[in-house]
Structure 1
Amino acid sequence: MARKKYASETEEAKVDMTPLLDIVFIMLIFFIVTTSFVKPMGVEYSVPESNTPNNSQKSDNILISIEKSGLIKIGDRLVDIERVTANIQQIRAEAPEASVLILAETEARHGLVVKVMDYVKIAGVQKVSVAEKKKG
């Protein structure tokens, strides 16, 4: 009895899909289990409570604008250079913790900016910032 070396033409090659499906289901279960234990990352913090009432002190900034023509404005009012100290003291009477921002145009005279800074220091302001105001 001779054996056939080749399969007959009626037999077809078959691939067993059972082990492949087993691996897919095991991987699916693994990913479901591992993702359910992941904690979201983040920073925990607590906001401190304020002991002071909100309306007790006004802490608005005082804006002094210096134009290249030499005009000085405190807020929206035109002010003479000699009256800067008095105006700052008046505003600070209402808001003692207010800081001053001097906004000078690029072409403004530096001597005028320094003089305004001196008058602000005479008024008793410790927090003074200077910024450049560009035209455009």
Structure 2
Amino acid sequence: MARRKHTDEGQEADVDMTPMLDIVFILLIFFIVTTSFIKEEGLLVNKPKAKNNPSEVNAPSVVVQIAETGQLKFNGKLVDIERLSARIESFLSENQTDSAVVIAHHDATHEMVVRVIDNIKPFEQLTISIGK
């Protein structure tokens, strides 16, 4: 007795990809719609440019150091935030300079750094740089 094979060569197993593509596109649309893009605001910092003139390199500059406790040093001497602009003014009357460097300790508050920069800003001839 011969056995018959029950194979239908006309029917192959096909997988319909349309529902899977629909789900992928729905997920894509969902993630695009729910993603929020936040524009972060920052502080614009102008980096100082290198000076080629040797006389300008040796010119004294305004250096304000901020300690972690909030104490200020103006060119190495302690000063209060209220007296900082007066010290800068007297320094500029004696010396010709166009640069000011603010060196903040990494634990100093941002508020103190901004207050120091705000005290230097009225002197338009000074270029403010952030030091490390």
Task: Give the TM-score taking structure 1 as reference length.
Answer: 0.51
Identity %: 29
Amino acid at match of 1:75: N
Deviation at 1:125, TM superposition (A): 4.2
Whether the aligned pair in 1 keeps the contact of 2:81 and 2:116 (CA below 8 Å) is yes
Residue in structure 1 matched with residue 105 of structure 2 by the alignment: 105
Query: 1-side partners of 2:125 and 2:85: how far apart?
Result: 10
Any runs of at least 4 consecutive aligned residues in structure 1 with deviations exceeding 4 A, and if so which? none
Gaps of 5+ in 2: 1-52
Q: Which has the larger radius of gyration?
A: 1
User: Matched residue of 1:122: which SS?
Assistant: coil
> Counterpart of 2:103 in 1: which secondary structure?
strand
Instruction: Tell me the equivalent position of 2:90.
Output: 90
Distance 2:128 2:111 in 1: 16
| Paired amino acid for 1:67 | A
Q: Unmatched 5+ residue regions in structure 1?
A: 1-49
SS across alignment from 1:130: strand
Alpha-carbon distance in structure 1 between the residues aligned to 2:114 and 2:125? 15
- How many Å separate the matches in 2 of 1:68 and 1:116? 14
The root-mean-square deviation of aligned C-alpha atoms, in Å, is: 1.9
Instruction: Give runs of aligned pairs for residues 1-136 of structure 1, distance below 5 A.
Output: 59-132=59-132
Report SS of the residue matched to 1:97: coil
Q: Which residue of 2 aligns with 1:36?
A: none
Partner of 1:92: helix, strand, or coil? Answer: helix
Do the aligned partners of residues 94 and 117 (structure 1) sit closer, same or farther apart at CA in structure 2, a change above 3 Å counting? same
